[in-house]
């Protein structure tokens, strides 16, 4: 993007000076450079009050030309605006996390968490219209909101298909997106057009958890969070409000904290990271469950998994699948799990889990150890001894035996003799040491090498500084004098290949 030229107050003073001088017949063939040289002394003599009008003209020119001293991106968007938006999103993320932690983790008893109600929302869109500020306005075509709690599962689902006109120029995009996902054509027959009616129905659903004018949050996945405001803003507009009156929070974060809080209450393993909760939601193991989609999608092949009503119900099933057994909730088909779920198998799994937990607790109590490594059984057995038994154990103790391996039989350590009268030691230690063959034991520090100790001293060359042997001579003499036998030179030892 080309840099825009900025004009200061002195520039406008030169323009006025030039007009005044030209009316008097003077010419400036040198242009602005000549004018600046002539009028500079007069500009220096002016007071701040006299320069004020020119300063104001310079500021107004910057505003008109869009120059304010700010830095811009290559698309012409001010960097300060981008930083401000990033700060706003971070503050929203922090407030969301704090609210969810306070709502879920601050429950004094597990029953409060089980009875707590949450609201899930999913929106299908028709097209995305680009706004002048670079953001997108998603035109909703279908949405569903459902109440959820661990105790009652999914309840009171509210579903609507919307009859909304497609903006000019977006008809092709709307048809392509509809065919690829929800398969709802624009202006569907029987669709709801009045957003005021939809707003009132939504308020009635949220009423049990509404405090004053503050509505409870609506939870959805992060991939749908930017789509939901397109619906809520149209609802809020009917009552003279904006989409800010609604709070749209992350379903994955809620699932993460519900699971870990339930696990901590009964001492089981939760999710180690938020990504685990996100993966379980996106995996969508109930995506092909039948009987939970709306009447419109139920009769269309391949469209039930995109139905908004089916989506919010499957979210509830996923959370119940991870949390209900741990908190001791009897799962009900249709509310906590699909209607065709084998409940006998779930009950058996629950009984097995409870039995495993009881056995684990009993085993942990019996095997608990203190900091010294003493088991509970040994502690009880020791405390049951009488004083007389304890004194007998102390008197009949065996003294500690110290084994000197240098005096054992069959030792091949040089210059060490075995004492036949030495007390016998462990048979295992003696046999193990006797079987170990040391071909070349280590010599004492600062002592002669093994080759020097067994060689003929007369054949060993002098080691003084006047008669130091040449390289190769000393090694040959020592090898000849030594009784140690080396294998013949062959392959891989620098010799020839002749056998």
Query: How far is it, in rounded angstroms, from Cα 273 to Cα 119?
Result: 23
Query: How far is it, in rounded angstroms, from Cα 111 to Cα 292?
Result: 28
Rounded to whole angstroms, what are the CA distances from 435 to 35, 244, 411, 430? 110, 85, 9, 9
Would the pTM of this model clear 0.75, i.e. be above it? no
- Name the nearest CA neighbour of 120 among 204, 205, 184, 181: 205
> How many C-beta atoms lie closer than 10 Å to residue 216's C-beta?
20
Query: How far is it, in rounded angstroms, from Cα 495 to Cα 57?
Result: 98
Q: Which residues pair with 139 in a beta bridge?
A: 127
The pLDDT value recorded for residue 429 is: 40
Q: Which residues pair with 249 in a beta bridge?
A: 219
Per-position pLDDT tens, the chain of length 499: 445 567 788 888 888 888 888 888 888 888 888 888 888 888 888 888 888 888 888 877 776 655 555 676 766 667 887 888 889 889 988 999 999 988 887 766 777 888 889 999 999 999 999 877 667 899 999 999 999 999 999 998 999 999 999 998 899 999 999 999 999 999 999 899 999 999 999 999 998 888 888 899 999 999 999 999 999 999 999 888 888 889 999 999 999 999 888 887 767 778 888 999 999 999 888 888 888 999 999 888 888 899 999 999 999 999 998 888 878 888 889 899 998 888 777 777 767 766 665 665 555 555 555 555 666 666 666 666 677 777 787 777 777 778 877 776 554 544 444 455 544 444 444 444 344 444 555 555 555 555 555 545 455 555 555 555 555 555 555 455 555 555 555 555 444 444 4
DSSP H helical ranges for 139-270: 171-180, 195-206, 228-237, 251-265
Query: How far is it, in rounded angstroms, from Cα 303 to Cα 180?
Result: 9
Supply the DSSP symbol for 106: T
CA dihedral over 194, 172, 242, 316, signed as positive or negative: positive
The conformational region for residue 374 under phi > 0 = left, psi -120 to 50 = alpha, else beta, is beta
Name the one residue in this structure whose structure tokens are 């509809």. 178
The pLDDT value recorded for residue 438 is: 45
The pLDDT value recorded for residue 496 is: 47
Rounded to whole angstroms, what are the CA distances from 451 to 105, 457, 463, 469? 77, 11, 15, 16
Contact 247, 217 (CB under 8 A): yes
Query: How far is it, in rounded angstroms, from Cα 339 to Cα 331?
Result: 11
The pLDDT value recorded for residue 417 is: 46
The pLDDT value recorded for residue 63 is: 63
The pLDDT value recorded for residue 121 is: 96
Query: How far is it, in rounded angstroms, from Cα 459 to Cα 176?
Result: 101
Output the six-digit token pair for 404.
Answer: 């000197």
- Name the nearest CA neighbour of 455 among 484, 478, 485, 473: 478
Pairing of strands 118-130, 218-220: parallel
The pLDDT value recorded for residue 159 is: 95
Taking each helix axis from N to C end, the angle separating 251-265 and 308-323, rounded to the nearest 10 degrees, works out to 20
Contact 315, 286 (CB under 8 A): no
Supply the DSSP symbol for 143: E
Query: How far is it, in rounded angstroms, from Cα 14 to Cα 7?
Result: 11
- Kind plus residue range of the DSSP H or E element containing 378: helix 376-383
87-352: CATH number: 3.30.420.10
CA neighbours closer than 13 Å in the CB half-sphere of residue 476? 5
Name the one residue in this structure whose structure tokens are 């398969």. 183
- Name the nearest CA neighbour of 415 among 447, 446, 459: 447
């Amino acid at each position: 993007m080309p840099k825009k030229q900025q004009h200061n107050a002195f520039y406008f003073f030169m323009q006025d000076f030039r007009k005044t001088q030209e009316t008097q017949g003077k010419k400036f063939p040198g242009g602005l450079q000549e004018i600046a040289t002539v009028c500079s002394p007069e500009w220096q003599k002016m007071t701040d009050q006299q320069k004020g009008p020119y300063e104001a003209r310079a500021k107004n020119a910057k505003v008109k030309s869009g120059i304010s001293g700010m830095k811009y991106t290559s698309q012409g968007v001010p960097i300060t605006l981008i930083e401000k938006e990033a700060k706003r999103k971070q503050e929203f993320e922090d407030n969301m996390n704090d609210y969810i932690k306070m709502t879920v983790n601050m429950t004094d008893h597990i029953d409060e968490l089980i009875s707590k109600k949450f609201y899930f929302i999913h929106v299908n869109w028709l097209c995305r219209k680009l706004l002048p500020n670079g953001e997108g306005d998603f035109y909703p075509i279908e949405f569903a909101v459902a109440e959820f709690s661990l105790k009652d599962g999914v309840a009171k689902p509210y579903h609507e298909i919307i009859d909304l006109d497609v903006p000019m120029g977006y008809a092709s995009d709307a048809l392509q997106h509809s065919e690829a996902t929800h398969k709802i054509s624009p202006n569907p027959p029987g669709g709801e057009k009045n957003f005021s009616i939809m707003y009132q129905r939504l308020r009635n659903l949220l009423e049990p958890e509404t405090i004053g004018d503050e509505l409870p949050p609506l939870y959805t996945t992060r991939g749908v969070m930017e789509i939901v405001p397109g619906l809520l803003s149209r609802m809020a507009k009917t009552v003279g409000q904006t989409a800010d009156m609604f709070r749209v929070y992350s379903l994955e974060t809620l699932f993460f904290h519900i699971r870990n809080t339930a696990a901590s209450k009964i001492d089981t393993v939760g999710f180690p990271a938020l990504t685990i909760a996100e993966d379980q939601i996106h995996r969508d193991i109930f995506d092909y469950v039948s009987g939970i989609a709306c009447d419109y999608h139920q009769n269309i092949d391949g469209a039930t998994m995109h139905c908004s009503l089916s989506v919010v119900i499957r979210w509830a099933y996923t959370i119940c699948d991870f949390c209900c057994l741990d908190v001791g909730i009897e799962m009900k088909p249709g509310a906590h799990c699909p209607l065709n779920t084998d409940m006998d198998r779930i009950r058996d799994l629950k009984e097995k889990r409870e039995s495993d937990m009881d056995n684990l607790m009993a085993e942990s109590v019996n095997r608990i150890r203190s900091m010294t490594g003493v088991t509970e059984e040994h502690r009880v057995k020791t405390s049951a001894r009488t004083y007389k038994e304890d004194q007998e154990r102390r008197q009949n103790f065996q003294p500690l035996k110290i084994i000197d391996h240098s005096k054992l039989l069959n030792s091949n350590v040089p210059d060490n003799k075995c004492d036949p009268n030495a007390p016998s030691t462990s048979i295992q230690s003696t046999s193990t040491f006797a079987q170990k063959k040391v071909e070349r034991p280590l010599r004492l520090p600062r002592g002669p090498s093994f080759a020097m100790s067994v060689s003929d001293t007369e054949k060993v060359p002098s080691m003084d500084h006047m008669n130091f042997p040449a390289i190769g001579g000393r090694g040959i003499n020592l090898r000849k004098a030594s009784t140690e036998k080396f294998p013949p030179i062959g392959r891989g030892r620098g010799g020839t290949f002749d056998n």
